[in-house]
Amino acid sequence: MSDRPYYIAGNWKMHKTRSQAAELAGALVTQLKDGKHKYLVAPSFTLLETVAPILKGTNIRLGAQNCAAEEQGAHTGEVSVLQLKDLEVQTVILGHSERRHIYHEDDALINKKLRLALQHGFEVILCVGELLEEREAGKAEQVCETQTVKGLEGVAAGDLGRIVIAYEPVWAIGTGKTATPEDADAIHAFVRKVLAKLYGQAAADKILIQYGGSVKPENAAQLMAKENIDGALVGGAALKADTFVPIAKFA
């Protein structure tokens, strides 16, 4: 087993009103108080101000699901790192497959956002992962390598402590299809090799790589048992304490 800590993150996506968010955040704070791992929830931008005071001083970090590539200016509909910092957000999720494939964010844009977020002191969860047709064409590794290398372009080794990678095979997101622990671990090991090529083995060994894609209470422990799987980025099952807490406290 590696000595990397586990990091379990909940991506609430475009769900919940303020009262629902406050209720879930409150339940998580109570039920994860004695949790042994690193935790995060990422609510919608409109919920951050509600959730921030509930998480403050607890063992659950506050994350945002995206940020703009520019600090400020004429960017209608975008949210800046300065605004996120003002709300005490600590982490930004970037390159989620829904951003890549529905909103056409490319590696260059994601990299620009990532460098800006790092510059402003945020931790970044960089999501990578292949589409079903890419997996079937034998290109899963190639896609993950490109997204990792381009996503991290220009990132100094000294900033790697604030980088987390989330491997999220697109065909497993919200579909109920989970990658087998073996398949997921193989890509995680491969991504770690890519990181070692970029930054050296010692640095690569310290980087947390989360798995995402239909993680549930029933499959969390088997996934986490794998050498290169250091946590989870959870979507659907993060929307209720009843399903997120057992994942966060997997045994």
Q: Which residues bind ligand PGA (CB under 6 A)?
A: 11, 168, 173-174, 212-215, 233-237
Q: What residues does 199 pair with on adjacent strands? A: none
- Rounded least distance, CB 43 to ligand PGA, Å: 13
- Rounded least distance, CB 72 to ligand PGA, Å: 28
d(CA 199, CA 113): 21
Identity of the residue, 90 or 203, whose beta carbon is nearer to ligand PGA in the bound complex:
90
- Rounded least distance, CB 200 to ligand PGA, Å: 29
Identity of the residue, 122 or 212, whose beta carbon is nearer to ligand PGA in the bound complex:
212
Catalytic residue among 98, 134, 168, 188: 168
Active-site residue, 23 included: no
Tokens of 247: 């994942």
- Report CA torsion sign: 152, 142, 136, 211: negative
Residues 6+ apart with CB under 8 A from 208: 4, 5, 7, 164, 165, 230, 231
Tell me the residue nearest to ligand PGA as measured from the CB. 235
Identity of the residue, 199 or 235, whose beta carbon is nearer to ligand PGA in the bound complex:
235
Active-site residue, 168 included: yes
Catalytic residue among 96, 123, 134, 188: 96
Identity of the residue, 199 or 214, whose beta carbon is nearer to ligand PGA in the bound complex:
214
- Amino acid letter for position 128: V
- Rounded least distance, CB 95 to ligand PGA, Å: 11
**String of b and e for 142-151 (b: at least 16 CB within 10 Å)?**
ebbbebbbbb
- Rounded least distance, CB 238 to ligand PGA, Å: 7
Identity of the residue, 199 or 239, whose beta carbon is nearer to ligand PGA in the bound complex:
239
Q: What residues does 57 pair with on adjacent strands? A: none
Active site residues: 96, 168
